[in-house]
Amino acid sequence: MMCGIQLTVHGGVSHHGIPGIHLIICAFLSASPWQYTLKMECFVLVLTGISHPAFVFYQICGGWKKHAWIKEGCTIVDPNCSNPSERRHFMRFTNAIGFKGKFYALSLQGTLAVIENIDSHLRITASGKKRAIPSDSSLHFRELMVESGEEVLLVFLISKASSNIVDSVEVYQLDVDKLTWNKMESLGDRTLFLGSNCCMSMSASKVGCKRNCVYYTHRSGDYGWWVYDLDKATISPS
């Protein structure tokens, strides 16, 4: 989608420039492009990875009326920051997803924040109490969020010995009322595809792929596509 800058939604941004912003982590839409109509309100959210500004957003209204980029800082101390020297630091966001007109963003420390449109400004309206981290111990993990039907899922690609190798995958479902993550043992008929610039959920029976699996790329796709089978808890080349 083109909205003042050239965007690759979720996972990376190729941009011509946002005034005053030099660091961009990723960009997201507040609603699925498949659901978007010219009459509905939609936002593009750009995460900076810092607290001031924590994010920048661009509003798209009915009829494609355009508004300027608006910067918003974060003045909320991250409750899950374990380092005493950093407890004064405000939340910095590294990942997010747009779902039913709201954004659900994860901080550097794994805190979930809800970001909503309040009088044409995006505000943090709620936050989860528990960190979003894998249950399995790891040297390194990568987190990805994906909309699946009427749910928001969080996937961890877990590396235990080397950050170049994924040893395990965990999938969690968001309870949007309690703002908690519930670990999933099965995806049922669903299959997840997690790329460098895009994540999606598909019905395996409709597209003819293997059910209850997570297909993913790692290290910007340099190592090809891999598949994690939730039934067998195994990883193999796709």
Prediction pTM value: 0.80
Distance CA 90, CA 82 (A): 13
**Is there a contact between 194 and 170 (Cβ–Cβ < 8 Å)?**
no
Return all residues near 4 (Cβ < 8 A) that are at least 6 apart. 18, 58, 66, 69
Return all residues near 185 (Cβ < 8 A) that are at least 6 apart. 230
User: In this predicted structure, what is the pLDDT of residue 131?
Assistant: 87
User: In this predicted structure, what is the pLDDT of residue 171?
Assistant: 98
Distance CA 142, CA 129 (A): 21
Distance CA 18, CA 153 (A): 30
pLDDT tens by residue, the chain, 238 residues = 223 333 333 333 334 455 555 555 677 776 665 555 556 677 788 888 778 888 787 776 554 455 677 788 888 888 887 765 655 678 888 889 989 889 999 998 899 999 988 887 788 999 998 888 999 888 899 999 999 989 999 999 999 988 888 999 999 999 999 999 999 999 999 999 998 778 999 999 998 899 999 999 987 556 689 999 999 999 999 8
Q: Tokens 């749910």 map to which residue?
A: 151
